[in-house]
Structure 1
Amino acid sequence: MSVTGGTPKRLIVAITGATGAIYGVRLLQVLRAAPSVETHLLISPAGVMNLQHELDISRAEVEALASVVHNVRDIGATIASGSFRAQAMVVAPCSMRTLAAIAHGLSDNLITRAADVTLKERRKLVLMVRETPLNLAHLRNMTAVTEMGGIVFPPVPGFYQKPQSIAELVDHTVGRVLDLVDLPEIGQTLAPSWGGLNARAGDAAGN
């Protein structure tokens, strides 16, 4: 993907081993069509397994959606430095193992190092954590990340938009995430702002 029209907005996207690989893939698909955004992709080994198991797609197919692909073992990559100006980072989905490593500052691979850099540079980090039920360690790690400035965003479906398919549920969640990382012009196309119950009642009454 080529980025034209000035300096792109850089977004780091990581796919880890929690269920919900569809969120990371859909995020990449949407951003692929946005020439103003440059995506930097990381996929953990467990994330690759989930892509194959849940979506029947290969690593190569997902990597083709990104502007730049990084090896999770390449600690010397550009995104490992705070001097690389990325707008934000989204981990979609985020496993409890990755959450724990980020919460405790364990930069043991490029995903957790990039997340650590995002936090220390005071940039937006969105973790789409996926696990249920949650034990105390999970909750404490979420609290730690939140206290450091990260955003814990479990992909909990919203039914108030009356979705008709899984794809609509996924799009609504991805749209909300795009709003959070300051890409509302893209996010609003997937998850329009809530107009309120009164507006809906008025439409139904023909007002």
Structure 2
Amino acid sequence: MISTIHISSMVDVQKRHGQVKKPVCISEYNMFMKGVDRADQYLAYYSLPRKTVKWTKKVALWLINCAIFNSFLVFKNLNPHSKLKYKAFLLNVAKAWATNHTVAAEPAADTVLMRPGPSIPTPRRPHVDTPGRLSGDMQKHTLIKIVKSEHSKGKHPSRQCRVCAVHKKRTMTVYICKCVMLLHKGECFQKYHTLKHF
């Protein structure tokens, strides 16, 4: 083993069957790197990174893998009596990501959407349709003008309408629904909240 901080000396290490001589760098590695080895062991069992040409993808997937493992350790520390294994934890995380992909689309009660006033700041448009769009309760769905932010250009900020975008029309709207969907007043709003395939 090559080391830049250790000298080439040997130390006696106690083993089950007696004392053994080992290099200092090996002895210190074994003493201080147990947590890293354990983390590498867990990460190797259910590894996210796959063969890919782009090194950036590998790094990003490795970081996500480390973050999931760290969250597993936090979970185990907060729930010491839990017998949940790492594989089951990964499956729970995957299920949560797969089923709660519309959480951002449903505004919480304390968000800016509940503030009184004629208009709201525009959050990023969700990539999926909101679950309650066909509920029939049209009082939950009202259009509000998009608020001008410091980054928006022009006097009246506008964004692309969801219904028009599906039909490959690039038309802009100045309205946003309370379900965080950008829609034109009238036909687009009506189609989005009443038709399954608008």
Q: TM-score scaled to structure 2, two decimals?
A: 0.22
More helix as a share of residues? 1
Q: Which has the higher contact order (CA 8 A, sep 6+)?
A: 1
Q: TM-score scaled to structure 1, two decimals?
A: 0.22
The structure whose Rg is larger is 2
